[in-house]
Amino acid sequence: ELEQLKTNFISTISHEFKTPLTSIMMGTSLLNDGTVGRLNTEQGRILISIEEDCCKLSNLVDDLLYMSKIESKDAAYDMKYVSINELVDEATKPFYIQSASKGVSLHVVTPLNLPKVYVDREKIIWVINNLLGNALKYTNNKDEISVGASVQNEKILITISDTGIGIPGDYLEKIFDQFVQVENSDLEIRGTGLGLFIAREIVRSHGGKIWCKSQLDKGSSFTFSLPLNNSTATKI
Ligand code: ADP
């Protein structure tokens, strides 16, 4: 009950934040495009930092809202049989341009004709998007990201690997907890620390697991499993 109260509280607060935040962002955008008068250089500089902070807050509010939706006991899962190849292709598509513009190569190495899996398509796409988004955040020019899938022991395994900055060993379990971020990672590229927590909630709700292997300065590899039989569907 306490957990549910906490989830409802986070959800309410996030909603309350959303409206004024949207209006602040609209205001800064009006000031920025000069509609209401020209700004001098110093004012423009201050406005840019307000916009960046609004953007961070907006991402945090979106993640909090999504987290409370996923954690709510009435969380709705729209379960269907989905082709894994299609799922991976759809989730990867938006990242080709972003990775190319950063000089990072992105490969999908999934065997053809993988079996169908019984999942909530949008939520599993969200998980892959989040892992790819992280891979891109923590890689640099000339690094590589690959997405693979395989079948093992009645499970489908989906892996997103990168050759980026890597994660220290003592963080490998902790990073799946709420708001945990590796301390040394660049403050500029920090997100909200909620992505992996939400990803784990979604994967667990499907009866699967998620884990990470990594070596500092060599890269990271995140894998999640999904059961191939549909027995978990009834539990959702
Ligand atoms: P964030 O929004 O901060 O990325 P996540 O929950 O998705 O939140 O990730 C938690 C932390 O795990 C990140 O802040 C980062 O320190 C670390 N991390 C996640 N993915 C990677 C990766 N591919 N390479 C290096 N560090 C990573």
Q: Is the CB of 190 under 6 A from ligand 1?
A: yes
Which tens digits make up the pLDDT trace of 164-220? Answer: 999 999 999 999 999 899 987 565 666 789 999 999 999 999 999 999 999 999 999
In testing the pocket of ligand 1, which one of 64, 66, 104, 137 has its CB within 8 Å of the most ligand atoms?
137
Measured from the CA of 182, which atom of ligand 1 is nearest? 16
pTM to 2 decimals? 0.87
Q: What is the rounded end-to-end Cα distance, in angstroms, of the chain?
A: 19
* Ranges of residues in the chain whose predicted pLDDT is under 50: 233-236
Measured from the CA of 135, which atom of ligand 1 is nearest? 23
pLDDT of residue 186: 62
User: 145 pairs with which residues across the strands?
Assistant: 106, 162
Give yes or no for a contact between 110 and 88, defined as CB atoms under 8 angstroms apart: yes
Contacts of 31 (CB under 8 A, 6+ apart): 39, 47
Q: Is the CB of 204 under 6 A from ligand 1?
A: no
Dihedrals phi, psi of 127, to nearest 5 degrees: -60, -50
Tell me which residue has its CA closest to atom 7 in ligand 1.
195
Selection from 206, 19, 29 nearest residue 123 by Cα? 206
pLDDT of residue 6: 84
pLDDT of residue 140: 93
Question: How far is residue 90 from each of residues 55, 87, 100, 168, measured CA to CA in Å?
Answer: 26, 5, 17, 31
